[in-house]
Amino acid sequence: MMTLWAPIMLSAATGTMLAAPLIPSLRELRRRRDAAPLPTRSDDGKIDNFARSMREYMEPLTRQQRKFCTMRDGLIGQVLHMEDIANLAGTLVETPTFAPHSLVFPLPVCFTHELYVRGNLQLADDSMLRAALVEGDADLGERTTVARWIHAEGTLDAGPHAHLYGRVSSAKSLILRQGTLFERVGAVNIYAGVPATSWYESSPLWKGKSLMEMRLGRVRSNGDFHLRDSDAFQGHIVAAGKVAIEDNVLVIGSVKARTDLEIGSGTQVEGTVVSRGRMAIGGRCYIKGPVMCEEELVIGPGTQIGTPASPTTVSAPRIRISPGAMVCGTLWAREAGEVTS
Amino acid sequence: MLVDLFTVVIILICVYTLRHYVFTVSRVFGRQRQPYCDIDCADWPMVTVLIAAHNEEAVIADCINALLQVDYPTDKLKLVPVNDRSTDRTREIIDDLVAKYPGRIHPFHRTGGKPGKAAALRDAMKYVEGSVFLVFDADYIPGRALIRQLVAPFFDPEVGSVMGRVVPINVGKKLITRLLDLERSGGYQVDQQARMNLGLVPQYGGTVGGVRKSALDEIHGWAENTLAEDTDLTVRLLLAGWKTVYVNRAECYEEVPERWPVRVRQIMRWAKGHNQVMVRYAAALLRSHNLSLRERIDGALLLGVYAMAPVLLLGWLLAVALFYTGVEPWGGIAVLGLAAFTTLGNFAAFYEIAAAARLDNSSSRICLLPLTLLGFTVSVVSVSHAAWMQVVDSIRGAELNWQKTERTRVAPVALGK
């Protein structure tokens, strides 16, 4: 009897031990709790999507025009008129808010929920917004904080030393005053410090053409690459080491450095500038763009990147931009951006 | 002799095991490199999209309809379905769409010539307009932002080709589709992205990707006599100083095989093509002065991936032989080596899959991980068989034949737009 049961028990125990790890597998296979395709990105990542979502979210307030209204998520939203501002119980507004007309806040205010203004918005210093959509111009006071995003259909002027987390955008112009911290910024014209006029005009030689469409040669360097003062260079540059371009150089092509890249004052690059290390762009330069840097990017005063007619992207983990510089398109600091004082 | 051979096998297994671990650690804990994903605003170039189709009546309409909806300037986007000698309704479906969307689709109906995707693409190059072209297989369903995400890296003058991420759409159908879903996750989410992080050699995968026209011209176009035109292109571009980059966020749905025989044929074709490229270019790659040491090593390891299956089988046979012949001290070490591989080494690839599932926030599908052993076994046997056939064929002087992957979709999928 013993001789029969022993191998059976041993086999059963071994089988159980081998099968045990498969139990969760077989259960998942039968129940199919996680059998849907992985979700892929379906939106195009444009700021219009945020604005559209905000307009849809605020629709109960904009449609009913009552003082208070229950929103889709169960929160109570309020309609705020200019004359109500004096009667606000405090500086803290803890409801989604819709303003059918322009708003001017003489005192600091803190909106902990969405704000939608169908007019202009003017905030006092030290105010705070969570997320705001402004159909007109937005004038943020000094040291204003935006926690998630703000979009203005008109001009957006972020006051000095503002803290702009998340996305900040304008359909027209956006002014980042000195000392402002930013992350993702987008507008046809982004001015650092003070508004300037777009000064660059591309040469008729390649006007209307994309540089990527032009058959340009490519120079590859296994070490560093250097262009001297007032040189002109046609073609793409790819260097395994550092690239140094001195002052007043013209490059009709793109530049890539696998380490650091330095561009002197007054230089024009009619193409992309890419660096896997640090990048420093001097003053009064013009870069057609995009500009991509994998460490820190420093942009000098008076430099213009992109044009209103041909907006582009500037992207780096850390960006320091000097007052007087101008970017047309998107300025994206993945970790932190700052307008230097 | 046996001992020396076994030593080589163990070293190779250790190298690949280490490679898997390095990739997994880099992906989970390292700095993630996605330098091009921020480009949303630029002077976008003219792009031609080639849609490779051979008897694709079940899927071609979904792919073209999805491409018609992408967010890319219409005047800079040319869609070219490459109808390669189809004998089903593919031509009719394409022509219907051409009539429905005048000026948007420019079909190339190929009626003759050498079979195979590489040969079809080579013939289709005369339809390419602009500096960049993208390639999709007919069973792929691109999202709205995909074209811009795939084109953005070409602003970097060093980039010759770009690869996006493939995501299975028919995951829940069968055990095989669920296993392939996990395998694809590991391959793209961890393996490809880790190579991007570490400045190694991401691979152009032949679809959901793009190529710079001038780079392709520089390497004299597509190689026709290959079963893996994608790997061939990756290596030739690399040797010519062009980089391939991977964009993890450029995701696109594909249909994976739903039957094991289809999967076996697919992986055998990949294995033969890959091995072919290894034989052609491994030496040149290792000798290249244009590449960094890490690129050369990673490139060679990439080319050797499919050769590892027969090496592994050989290792198992050698370990058993050494154990029973009792060669000292190798009998014991052989068992140790075998045990080490079947525990830590073998599991290295599974760690990749587990890490990928975690990164994808897949909560329950990770439970299927033990069952991936089944897919692994099928792959090892199929790839080894392919390698053996390849050796036999080369001795006989037989030509390699292209075999199309069978589609199982019977109705248009909901695009969820």
The beta-carbon neighbor of A313 closest among B41, B253, B367 is B41
Asked if the structure places residue B277 within a domain, the reply is: no
Asked if the structure places residue B291 within a domain, the reply is: no
Q: What percent of chain B has pLDDT over 90?
A: 56
A225/chain B closest Cα distance in angstroms = 15
Domain shared by B18 and B37, yes or no? no
- The whole-number pLDDT of residue B259 equals 93
Domain shared by B342 and B240, yes or no? no
Domain shared by A51 and A142, yes or no? yes
Q: Are strands B141-142 and B243-254 parallel, antiparallel or unpaired?
A: antiparallel
| CB contacts, 8 Å: A218 with chain B | 157
Segment A84-110, tens digit of pLDDT: 777 775 678 888 999 988 999 988 999
Asked if the structure places residue A267 within a domain, the reply is: yes
Domain shared by B231 and B172, yes or no? yes
Mean per-residue pLDDT, B63-75: 92
The lowest-confidence range among A46-60, B279-293, B339-353 is B339-353
Q: What is the pTM of this model?
A: 0.89
Asked if the structure places residue B220 within a domain, the reply is: yes
Domain shared by A74 and A139, yes or no? yes
Domain shared by B200 and B131, yes or no? yes
Asked if the structure places residue A96 within a domain, the reply is: yes
Where is the domain boundary, A171, A195, A220?
A171
Asked if the structure places residue B293 within a domain, the reply is: no
Block residue for tokens 């391959």: B187
Where is the domain boundary, B239, B259, B279?
B259
- The whole-number pLDDT of residue B416 equals 37
- The whole-number pLDDT of residue B415 equals 41
Domain shared by B97 and B13, yes or no? no
- The whole-number pLDDT of residue A42 equals 67
What are A138's strand-pairing partners? A121, A156
- Separation between Cα atoms, residue A146 and residue A321, nearest integer Å: 20
The lowest-confidence range among A218-232, B15-29, B169-183, B307-321 is B307-321
Q: In 3-state terms, what secondary structure has residue A248?
A: coil
B111/chain A closest Cα distance in angstroms = 31
The beta-carbon neighbor of A212 closest among B143, B154, B289 is B154
Cβ-defined contact of A292 to B185 (cutoff 8 Å): no
Mean per-residue pLDDT, A69-94: 80
* Cβ proximity of A280 and A265 under 8 Å: no
Domain shared by B213 and B252, yes or no? yes
Block residue for tokens 């034949």: B401
A94/chain B closest Cα distance in angstroms = 33
* Cβ proximity of A48 and A165 under 8 Å: no
Domain shared by B181 and B53, yes or no? yes
Domain shared by A156 and A226, yes or no? no
Asked if the structure places residue B296 within a domain, the reply is: no
The beta-carbon neighbor of B367 closest among A28, A44, A213 is A28
CATH at B77: 3.90.550.10
- Residue A215, pLDDT above cutoff 70: no
Phi, psi (rounded to 5 degrees) for A69: -160, 145
Domain shared by B89 and B179, yes or no? yes
- Residue B401, pLDDT above cutoff 80: no
Instruction: Report yes or no: A332 at the B interface, CB cutoff 8 Å.
Output: yes
Mean per-residue pLDDT, A21-42: 85
Across chain A, mean pLDDT equals 88
- Residue A206, pLDDT above cutoff 60: no
Cβ-defined contact of B252 to A37 (cutoff 8 Å): no
Segment B269-305, tens digit of pLDDT: 999 999 999 999 999 999 998 899 999 999 999 999 9
Tokens coding A304: 């213009």
- Count structural domains, chain A: 2
- The whole-number pLDDT of residue A89 equals 55
- The whole-number pLDDT of residue B364 equals 85
What are B162's strand-pairing partners? B210, B245
Asked if the structure places residue A227 within a domain, the reply is: yes
Give the pLDDT band (50/70/90) at residue B112. confident
Domain shared by B186 and B151, yes or no? yes
Segment B119-157, tens digit of pLDDT: 888 899 999 999 999 999 988 888 888 999 999 999 999
- The whole-number pLDDT of residue A74 equals 85
- The whole-number pLDDT of residue B346 equals 63
Mean per-residue pLDDT, A299-320: 94
Asked if the structure places residue B109 within a domain, the reply is: yes
Instruction: Report yes or no: A76 at the B interface, CB cutoff 8 Å.
Output: no
State the residue range of the domain holding A323: 211-339
- Separation between Cα atoms, residue A137 and residue B95, nearest integer Å: 50
Q: What percent of chain A has pLDDT over 90?
A: 59
Is A289 or A179 the better-scoring residue by pLDDT?
A179
Asked if the structure places residue A25 within a domain, the reply is: no
Asked if the structure places residue A41 within a domain, the reply is: no
- Count structural domains, chain B: 2
Chain B contact probe: residue of A212, A218, A270, A288 with most B CBs at under 10 A: A212
Using CA atoms, how far residue B121 sits from B110, B216, B221, in Å, is 10, 12, 10
Domain shared by A246 and A308, yes or no? yes
- The whole-number pLDDT of residue B323 equals 78
Tokens coding A78: 């309020």
Instruction: Report yes or no: A197 at the B interface, CB cutoff 8 Å.
Output: no
| CB contacts, 8 Å: B291 with chain A | none
B210/chain A closest Cα distance in angstroms = 15
Domain shared by A250 and A143, yes or no? no
C-alpha of A313 from chain center: 9
Phi, psi (rounded to 5 degrees) for A174: -135, 125
- Residue B414, pLDDT above cutoff 50: no
The beta-carbon neighbor of B171 closest among A36, A211, A313 is A36
Instruction: Report yes or no: A212 at the B interface, CB cutoff 8 Å.
Output: yes
Asked if the structure places residue B137 within a domain, the reply is: yes
Give the DSSP letter string of A53-94: HHHHHTHHHHHH--SEEE-TTSPEEEE--GGGGGG-SSSEE-
Across chain B, mean pLDDT equals 87
- The whole-number pLDDT of residue A20 equals 86
Q: Return the CA Rg of chain A.
A: 28
Instruction: Report yes or no: A40 at the B interface, CB cutoff 8 Å.
Output: yes
Long-range CB contacts for residues B258-263, cutoff 8 Å, separation at least 24: B258/B170, B258/B173, B258/B174, B258/B176, B258/B177, B258/B408, B259/B176, B259/B406, B259/B408, B260/B176, B260/B378, B262/B405, B262/B406, B263/B176, B263/B180, B263/B378
A290/chain B closest Cα distance in angstroms = 7
Whether omega before B329 lies within 30 degrees of 0, making that bond cis, reads: yes
Residue of A nearest to B177 (CA): A35
Cβ-defined contact of A29 to B371 (cutoff 8 Å): yes
State the residue range of the domain holding B247: 32-259
Domain shared by B180 and B160, yes or no? yes
